Amino acid sequence: MTDIDTVKEAGQEKSAAPALTKGFSILELVASEPGLGFAAIRSRLGLPNSSCHHLISTLCQLGALQLRSDRGYILGLRLLELGTMAAGQRQIDHHALPFLRTLAQETQLTCHLGVLEGHAAIYLMKVEGQREIRVNTWVGKRLSLHSSSLGKVLLASLPEPELEEMLRHIEWRAKCPNTLTDPERFRAHLREVRHRGWALDNEEDLLNIRCVAAPVNDAQGKVVAAISAVGTVLDISPERLDALAGQVCATAQDISHELGYPERGK
């Protein structure tokens, strides 16, 4: 069976985006046989000359393909970047759970793992602490970015243009008396978060609730998630805050190491 026969057999149902399907066929062929030239790709996949040229040019512009000096094509580094991000996203739940369980057990607080989703943060995982008073949270809950510690950590990791875009979508309303509602003060606050490596929600999202969060990095150093520990103001007293922040940061770093980020101290 030829490559084009394989492509046709795999796509017997008519594709809603034929160009996308053909583009992926090119990527799969180059992945299995790096160094193929234009003529070989066109012939192996049975593509029209103009169509094949347009697809390959577009893939090169996107960084998905790269032309070598011998006129052969190899996969582009953009695919490596996307592949690393995809792998990191799929590994987070699996690798974070045991560390989050240990953190919840040691701190006796409810612990979460969350990510950016659109213009909000969202909990992907929750592990209950052993306190009798439970904080009302759930997997899938969306959080305000400017009043939650987890949201602050995720915002603080963004490049400046992306951060400004996110800030434009924030409704600067006071959920509690301590909520930061001035954009300039909040920007200064994010600089502090970025400098110290963790964020605090000090009764800013809910009255009588404090929360500490720290970032999780993938193998490339990109912040892909954050973890947090949440409790009442009695659970997280000012005297306990620094020690708790250290525990949360250490756990976040351990999860990051599991995702391929260099181990602490190396």
Label each residue of the chain as H, E or C: CCHHHHHHHHCCCCCCCHHHHHHHHHHHHHHHCCCCCHHHHHHHHCCCHHHHHHHHHHHHHCCCEEECCCCCEEECHHHHHHHHHHHHHHHHHHHHHHHHHHHHHHHCCEEEEEEEECCEEEEEEEECCCCCCCCCCCCCCEECCCCCHHHHHHHHCCCHHHHHHHHCCCCCCCCCCCCCCCHHHHHHHHHHHHHHCCEEEECCCCCCEEEEEEEEECCCCCEEEEEEEEEECCCCCCCCHHHHHHHHHHHHHHHHHHCCCCCCCC
Q: Which of 55, 75, 95 is the last residue of a domain?
A: 75
Q: Which of 41, 75, 109 is the last residue of a domain?
A: 75
Q: Are residues 104 and 233 in the same domain?
A: yes
Residue 80 included in any domain: no
Which CATH number is 65's domain given? 1.10.10.10
Q: Are residues 70 and 145 in the same domain?
A: no
Q: Which of 75, 103, 118 is the last residue of a domain?
A: 75
Q: Are residues 39 and 113 in the same domain?
A: no
Residue 265 included in any domain: no
Structural domain of 166: 85-258
Residue 34 included in any domain: yes
Q: Are residues 198 and 145 in the same domain?
A: yes
Q: Are residues 123 and 231 in the same domain?
A: yes
Residue 196 included in any domain: yes
Q: Tell me the per-residue pLDDT of 127-149, one tens digit each, with 9 for 90 and over.
A: 998 766 677 888 888 899 999 99
Q: Are residues 47 and 137 in the same domain?
A: no
Contact (CB, 8 A) for 107 and 134: no
Residue 266 included in any domain: no
pLDDT at 233 over 60: yes
Q: Are residues 140 and 226 in the same domain?
A: yes
Residue 263 included in any domain: no
Q: Are residues 63 and 154 in the same domain?
A: no
Confidence (pTM): 0.68
Q: Are residues 160 and 230 in the same domain?
A: yes
pLDDT category at 87 given cuts 50, 70, 90 is low
Q: Are residues 239 and 205 in the same domain?
A: yes
Spatial separation of the C-alpha atoms in residues 114 and 233, rounded to whole Å: 22
**Chain-wide mean pLDDT for the chain?**
88
pLDDT category at 86 given cuts 50, 70, 90 is low
pLDDT category at 16 given cuts 50, 70, 90 is low
* Number of separate domains in the chain: 2
Q: Are residues 90 and 136 in the same domain?
A: yes
Residue 168 included in any domain: yes
Which CATH number is 128's domain given? 3.30.450.40
Q: Tell me the per-residue pLDDT of 237-266, one tens digit each, with 9 for 90 and over.
A: 999 999 999 999 999 999 999 988 886 554
Q: Are residues 177 and 212 in the same domain?
A: yes
> Residue 116, class by beta-carbon neighbours within 10 Å (0-12 exposed, 13-18 middle, 19+ buried)?
buried
pLDDT category at 80 given cuts 50, 70, 90 is confident
